[in-house]
Amino acid sequence: MRFRFTLPLSPDAPRLPTSAGAALNSMGHQAQLSDHRLTVGVAPNVDTLYSLAWLDLDAGDFYLETPDFGPRYYSFQICESDTRTAAVFGQRTEGAHAPAVHIRRAGGGERSAPGYTTVTCDSRYVMIVGRILVEPTVSDDTDLVRELQNQIILRGPACDSCTTEADSPDLVVLDRNAEIFDPTGFIKSLENVLKDMNLDDLPGDIRHAVELLGMHGTPVSLTEDETAAVSAGLRDGFNMIEHHVRSLGRVANGWAINDNGSEFGSDYLLRATVAHAQIFVNPSTEAIYPVCELDSEGEELDGRSNRYQLVFDRDNLPPADAFWSVTMYHKHGLLVDNALGRYAIGDRTTSIKHGGGSTVIRIQSSEPDEGPDNWLPAPPGPFRLMLRLYSPREGRWVPPAVTRL
């Protein structure tokens, strides 16, 4: 994912306005909300503009300063390479103005910096994820958010290590499916990750596997039988992850709800599933992300010939103090191209009509007979819904089931 955002072979190449990619050790900003053209990462939101930076902490320490956001929702999440959250700052925790932040790697750099809140990370490579809410009811609000983005300051070492990554073009251009299913591609990617880690930092069972394979610092060569075994293991592992999307955390009304957020502990299947379906989620105090692939009868959501609805009664709206939304994705996590240009419906959707205080969302691949106001366009095939509740209230809220019409 880091390579796809930083583009080591051409770090200054032009990017889509929906991309927040930038060279390593630099901050990139989305100029437009995410749409179906954005294919880097998985399950982007369409509520906020992203500001992203991948940092090499072995190059030195970094310093982040942000402007006054007033009452607008914003957050800045500092993510470890294994998708844990090292820290998050934002409207919920800090009010209008977040502290200046000093980011360092454990065992290196300054232990603290006067006037800064220090965040110490375990990983060599970390990502800053900034999210700033865009209000669709405010004319030209995207431009106002862009002005705030332009006031974000990131200071630190220049991208000298980009050259090192560019020296391995075969790894930089490696297809994502090759990383997942091809034994050679998988091992090559894993070796790249391990070279920046100490064996002692790995959990015991993973360290044992690495030592057994002789992977740390030594290229791995597999026999034909070993290659077949690794290939089968990769396929089995991927199938487990795909299946677990429907059951991560607690399951209610067809929704899988991860109440642990990015606090995975030793639950490696949960970590892998979240990375596959959501990746770099916030801590659950900042946001929760219920996922739905099944209707009220336990059947897979599929827009080929089915029509659905999702009804939020007025006394059971998503309990979020910042905002909530329901976003449509292809089953593999990309936004769905549609003539309406609508990728989500939420509490700030201006066109939606409410009946008796309830919010009824119509979900299908063709426009409903009653018109597009409450329509969330689906693809003509399997799909996944994701709810987002930012600044969620306490309690174990249960979303209503998606019902087939």
The runs of H, that is alpha helices, within 24-175 are 91-94, 141-149, 162-166, 169-172
User: Cα(202)–Cα(237) distance, rounded to whole angstroms?
Assistant: 20
Answer with the one of 206, 225, 244 that is the final residue of a domain. 244
The verdict on 382 and 315 lying in the same domain is yes
User: Cα(2)–Cα(125) distance, rounded to whole angstroms?
Assistant: 9
The verdict on 139 and 37 lying in the same domain is yes
**Nearest residue to 42 via CA among 5, 78, 14, 79:** 5
The verdict on 233 and 289 lying in the same domain is no
Token reading at 3: 């390579």
Q: Side chain identity at 215, as an amino acid letter? A: M
pLDDT of residue 187: 85
pLDDT of residue 1: 79
The verdict on 15 and 29 lying in the same domain is yes
User: Cα(118)–Cα(387) distance, rounded to whole angstroms?
Assistant: 32
Domain count, the chain: 3
Q: Is the dihedral of CA 171, 172, 173, 174 positive or negative?
A: positive
The verdict on 239 and 383 lying in the same domain is no
User: Cα(161)–Cα(314) distance, rounded to whole angstroms?
Assistant: 53
Judge contact between 101 and 278, C-beta under 8 A: no
pLDDT of residue 168: 66
Angle among Cα 341, 343, 345 to the nearest 5 degrees reads: 115
Indicate whether 167 belongs to any domain: no
Query: In the beta sheet, which residues pair with residue 85?
Result: 79
User: Cα(333)–Cα(143) distance, rounded to whole angstroms?
Assistant: 28
**Nearest residue to 384 via CA among 278, 226, 287:** 278
Indicate whether 166 belongs to any domain: no
Token reading at 10: 């051409």
Residue 43: left if φ>0, alpha if ψ -120 to 50, beta else—which one? left
The verdict on 383 and 285 lying in the same domain is yes
The verdict on 8 and 156 lying in the same domain is yes
The runs of H, that is alpha helices, within 2-106 are 2-6, 91-94
The verdict on 397 and 261 lying in the same domain is yes
Q: Any residues with CB less than 8 A from the CB of 176 and at least 6 apart, and which?
A: none
Indicate whether 120 belongs to any domain: yes
Whether the pTM exceeds 0.85: the reply is yes
Segments of the chain scoring below 70 in pLDDT: 160-169, 216-218
pLDDT of residue 161: 53
Q: Side chain identity at 57, as an amino acid letter? A: L
The verdict on 121 and 10 lying in the same domain is yes
Indicate whether 168 belongs to any domain: no
User: Cα(334)–Cα(63) distance, rounded to whole angstroms?
Assistant: 32
Answer with the one of 198, 223, 244 that is the final residue of a domain. 244
Q: In the block, which residue shows the tokens 């509490």?
A: 347
The verdict on 305 and 326 lying in the same domain is yes
The verdict on 25 and 138 lying in the same domain is yes
Answer with the one of 161, 185, 218 that is the final residue of a domain. 161
Q: Give the domain range for residue 277.
A: 250-404
Query: In the beta sheet, which residues pair with residue 384?
Result: 329
pLDDT of residue 160: 66
pLDDT of residue 197: 77
The verdict on 82 and 182 lying in the same domain is no
Residue 343, classified by CB atoms within 10 Å of its CB into exposed (0-12), middle (13-18) or buried (19+), is buried
Please state the separation of Cα 259 from the chain's center in Å. 16
Q: In CATH, what number is assigned to the domain containing residue 20?
A: 2.60.40.1610
Token reading at 288: 């929760």
pLDDT of residue 163: 52
**Nearest residue to 309 via CA among 385, 247, 257, 250:** 385
User: First vs last Cα of the chain: how many Å apart?
Assistant: 39
Element (H, E) at 176: helix 176-181
Q: In CATH, what number is assigned to the domain containing residue 353?
A: 2.60.120.600
